[in-house]
Amino acid sequence: MTSTLETRRAQTATEVVVSVDHLRVRYGDTLAVDDVSLSINRGEIFGILGPNGAGKTTTVEAIGGLRRPDGGAISVLGLDALRNRQELRQRVGIQLQASELPDKLRVGEALELFASFYRDPADPDRLLKLLGLEAKREDRFANLSGGQRQRLSIALALIGRPELAILDELTTGLDPQSRRETWKLIEGIRDEGVTVILVTHFMEEAERLCDRLALLHHGRVIAIDTPAAMAAGAAGRQRVSFRPSGVVDVARMRELPDVRDVVRHGDRFTVEGTGDLVAAVMESLVRDGVVPLQTRIEQSTLDDAFVALTADADAVVSEHADPTREESR
């Protein structure tokens, strides 16, 4: 089973299942999505990341056929998101932010109801078990906790056995334990061959789950890459800080190829740079006969990349200041 799965994945590794080309969506006078282009391959978990109001939800709603674009083109599973909406609804599962079910609808009823809409649904019982909701089968929606509602919502997005699952703010409001369980679940879905679009503003989630991600800001894509490359690339800085046992030749250290800057705070030095920064700094210190004390090494994270990239984008934006570019959602 695993081997056929892998073969299938290898065969379809480069098949594009979602392609968005210069998408633009406005609400009245507000430009929610300005210019978004991206393409998503079959079988990957694609993250859409960005600060509040970046246009993430609007983008995935347009992909899911829930919003009519004002410009650009969207193709999902080879179908036009608006013209082939009916077929798309069969093959795309969507988990929306903040959508509730009728208060008195029971968990099991909800799953069976949604299952009845699809040509070839998953087994509701299996899905309930997978999501740890089997004990809640007879519970009414109104009596579920936030985490249970969220899991039910995921179950409903998956009940039609979609080829593409769009999950918006999947783990918002979950405790760390359930968040981790949900992540495992998403990886499981991916391993079964489903393509997943994950909207999130949790760096940790993006880093852990996503094969690739797009960083959105003010309705534009400002970076698309793997999480690791994004963390290392755009803002890919490392920082080594230490208290030297003797005199440091700051000028020579600045000359080192991987070093970008050396800053001194009292008796503490911080060296910023890229590549094999730590090795270079240590070697230089050893040559001077200086021992580094209380050394701290900081790798830049996706968080840093996020802050750096959005700050860069802001700098560009403020040059042609455009106060209308706020999002509603």
Partner 1 sequence: MTAVAAPSVSTRARPRGFRRLLITELKLFAREPMLLFWGLVFPVGLLVVLGVAGGDKAQKSLGGVKLIVAYTPVVMMFVVTILALSALPAALASYRDKGYLRRLSTTPIGAARLLAAQVILNFGLAAAAVILVALVSHLAFSVALPQQLGGFVLAIALTLAAMLSLGTLVAAVAPTQRIAAAIGSLLFFPLMFFAGLWVPQASMGTTLRDISHYTPLGAAVPAVQNAIAGHWPGTVHLLVLAAYAVVLCAAAGRLFRWER
Q: Which residues bind partner 1 (CB under 8 A)?
A: 8, 64, 66, 86, 89-94, 96, 98-105, 109, 112-114, 116-120, 122-123, 126-127, 130, 156, 158, 160-163, 189, 192-194
Beta-sheet strand order (sheet of 45-49): 79-80, 71-76, 16-27, 30-41, 220-225, 212-217, 45-49, 195-200, 164-168, 92-95
Rounded to an integer, what is the distance from CA 222 to the centroid of its chain?
Answer: 14
Nearer to partner 1, 106 or 239 (CB): 106
Rounded to the nearest whole angstrom, what is the least distance from the CB of residue 104 to partner 1 in the complex? 4
Rounded to the nearest whole angstrom, what is the least distance from the CB of residue 122 to partner 1 in the complex? 4
With contact defined as beta carbons under 8 Å apart, do 237 and 51 qualify? no
Nearer to partner 1, 137 or 325 (CB): 137
DSSP 4-23: HHHHHHHHTTT-EEEEEEEE
Nearer to partner 1, 23 or 96 (CB): 96
Rounded to the nearest whole angstrom, what is the least distance from the CB of residue 317 to partner 1 in the complex? 30
Nearer to partner 1, 149 or 325 (CB): 149
Rounded to the nearest whole angstrom, what is the least distance from the CB of residue 170 to partner 1 in the complex? 15
Nearer to partner 1, 67 or 218 (CB): 67
Rounded to the nearest whole angstrom, what is the least distance from the CB of residue 113 to partner 1 in the complex? 5
Burial pattern 212-229, b for ≥16 Cβ within 10 A else e, equals: bbbbbbbbbbbbbbebee
Rounded to an integer, what is the distance from CA 211 to the centroid of its chain?
Answer: 9
Nearer to partner 1, 152 or 305 (CB): 152
Counting Cα atoms < 13 Å in the Cβ hemisphere of 229 gives: 10
Using CA atoms, how far residue 35 sits from 31, 68, 188, 234, in Å, is: 10, 14, 32, 21
Rounded to the nearest whole angstrom, what is the least distance from the CB of residue 139 to partner 1 in the complex? 13
